[in-house]
Amino acid sequence: MIAILKYNSGNIMSVRVALQRLGHDAVITSDPDLIRRAEKVIIPGVGEAGSAMEHLRERGLDRVIVSLKQPVLGICLGLQLMCNFSEEKNSQCLGIFDTVVRRFPAGARVPHMGWNDFVSINDDPLLKGINLTDDVYYVHSYYAGVNDFTTAVCDYGLQFSAAMRKDNFFATQFHPEKSAGTGVRILENFLGL
């Protein structure tokens, strides 16, 4: 079973539909027991870090997420919540990735919305078969800088983490479910872990 975390964010149905197209059904849930029993967990999201973290804490899901041992994929807001802290509403986050999420600086057009390729890609199972020239789709105003967990880098006036990984936790700032063939490949890679 694949669990898609339900937690006060948008874009959940897009992820479910993308998985269905790949022949996988998923349960949308905030039930801690279902999440713990799932073979894989996806934390998608379009939203705001402060209210999302408040929602997770109220339900004890913050503790559940960090304890998971199966493959976990954070998408967009999901990546940001996996970091230590977000400047968005000065939010303490999950602390899986030891880095801070910042707002794009003044002068940058936000949100960063649309297609962009990569500056670099590390050898990582989530990104197997992905090339520097492959485009992926972004919608975000906050970013995690390049850090020890970065597996892919994008440039939008500054370089930031397009993807990160720590142990069984994978994350993408872009939306694989909206990234056409490249996104399909990334989702297939995750489902194959």
Active site residues: 76, 175, 177
> 48 phi and psi, to 5 degrees?
-125, 135
* DSSP summary character for residue 145: B
> Of 5, 69, 3, nearest to 38 (Cα)?
3
Rounded Cα gap, residues 24 and 3, in angstroms: 11
In sequence order, what DSSP letters do the residues of 45-72 get, joined into one string?
-BS-HHHHHHHHHHTTHHHHHHH--S-E
Secondary structure tally for the chain: helices H, strands E = 6, 14
